[in-house]
Structure 1
Amino acid sequence: MTPKNAKATLDRLNRSRRTASPPESQYQLYCEKIEAAGNEAAVVQRILPLFKDYDRKYNVDMNRAFVALPKDLGFNDGLSAPSPTLSRASRKKSVRAVRFKDDLTSTTLPHFAGEWKSRTGDMDEAMLQSGYDGAAMVYGRNQAREYLG
């Protein structure tokens, strides 16, 4: 079934960017820095500057488990809570809620999560972890939509 907002979503994806793409030389420099990263912490340190213009709009959390996620939902039976290397969520008050147990500063409904590995890291593990993070985010979105009707 086609979602009601399919046309609007396609139009948004096909429009021009509001900001210019970085020059190829900046992209090459970034690739060189990432290639030299020896561990996950070094990768994250190199990734964070890419988010500098979004800091005032979003909360960024690092290596924080989604402990408020109910256990045994089918996709997480017997697993520890997902803990993405980085997750981002809106700071808008309309979507504020606790996603980390006993932490009133956290936000809910993260829209972005990532698992970073260094060039020597296990990419299959990163893909599996990312899928788990994504399933948790979809579950949260579906719960919010159900609550809102």
Structure 2
Amino acid sequence: MAGNFDKPRLTRKNLALLNSLNGDSKSTKNSDYFESDTMKSTPTTDPDFEQKAYDNGIMDPTASKQPHDADIVKHHLTLRRQSTQPSERAHEEYCYRISRSHNETETSRLVQSKLMIDYEDRNRHYGRSNGRAITQIPQQDFNRGLSNPLPDVLEGLVTDTLPTSLHGQSLHSNTRSSSSLALCHFATEFKRTDANLRQAVYQAAYDGATLVNARNRTLAEAKVHAASVQGLGVVVDKAAKETAVLTSVNDGKVVGVYAHHFQDGEYHQNLVARESLLLYPNRGRELIRNAQDFARRKSYELEALFVADMEEE
């Protein structure tokens, strides 16, 4: 969807709007706006990461508040799909191969190839990155002292297929790379089959907080544009109230999908659904794919706010 429109200047008023949506009333220095400092920062694998994330306002599921639209999100994620289900033989093969998986890489590769939708085969506008750090985020309270998020899987719109004026929404520095993504709403953390998923849940909480923060900054920019397009402001306001970001935690045997939102100065993570990939393979596969479709739809809806602006002009 090519097109051009003028990006709003980063005035004091616009910057205040960006910060207010993310609960940060302090101005962001230009030198700090694009990439969080990874020097002397705590990686997500560090034993102290959980406590530091919590201190920064990233809540785990036990401390999180439910979003107002939790039932709506759960409805979408638990729908039965009309697509053909894997055969019994295919399921047996999956169970055998996952039982022989000894590390995160093997688990990730198997789940992606057998259970997840590969949108890149169908639409080059929507893509996936594997193990690539999210670097294009401003330094704020929620990521203070933490290394850049490093989700095992991230899905979103391919940056270089977007209008040039939307390249600033990219979560990666090299916008010409096919794995540079923007307007992302879905991330996954994998663990090997015999690992404790607790660490993955906290890593997903950080991934989700980052994507919510990025979405809110994009919505703030859309709000500025909406002033010149009749009726668009109402659409932007509605989008700002929706839970849109999802993450999943997966060890090849069990998958849990979490919804993320920002409320009262904190980033919250709520378990929406959990399914066995061994005992109830079709349900687990459906949950993963429903989550992917849900997040993909939110990415396109967010892009449409700017496309509508261009078409009106």
Calculate the TM-score normalised by the size of structure 1.
0.78
Q: Which one scores higher on RCO, CA 8 angstroms, separation ≥ 6? A: 2
Deviation at 1:11, TM superposition (A): 7.3
**Unpaired stretches in structure 2, ≥5 consecutive residues:** 1-66, 224-313
Deviation at 1:2, TM superposition (A): 5.4
Partner of 1:19: 83
Counterpart Cα distance in 2 of 1:90 and 1:124: 29
Q: 1:12 to 1:39 in 2, by over 3 A?
A: closer
1:22-101 to 2 correspondences below 5 Å: 22-50=86-114, 51=116, 53-56=118-121, 57=123, 58-71=126-139, 73-91=140-158, 93=162, 97-101=169-173
User: Which has the larger share of strand?
Assistant: 2
Q: Which residue identity lines up with residue 176 of structure 2 in the other structure? A: L
**Unpaired stretches in structure 1, ≥5 consecutive residues:** none
Q: SS of the residue aligned with 2:156?
A: strand
Q: Aligned to 2:189, which of 102, 115, 124? A: 115
Please give the per-residue CA displacement for 1:20-77, whole angstroms capped at 9, x wherever unaligned: 3334543343233223210011111212214464223331111111111112x22211
Partner of 1:134: 208
Instruction: Report if the CA contact (8 A) 2:107-2:193 is conserved.
Output: no
**How many pairs does the alignment contain?**
145
Counterpart Cα distance in 2 of 1:15 and 1:86: 23
Q: 1:101 to 1:23 in 2, by over 3 A?
A: same
The percent identity for this pair of structures is: 26
Counterpart Cα distance in 2 of 1:120 and 1:16: 29
Partner of 2:219: 145
Calculate the TM-score normalised by the size of structure 2.
0.41
Instruction: Report if the CA contact (8 A) 1:98-1:104 is conserved.
Output: no
Counterpart Cα distance in 2 of 1:13 and 1:59: 21
Q: Which residue identity lines up with residue 102 of structure 1 in the other structure? A: N
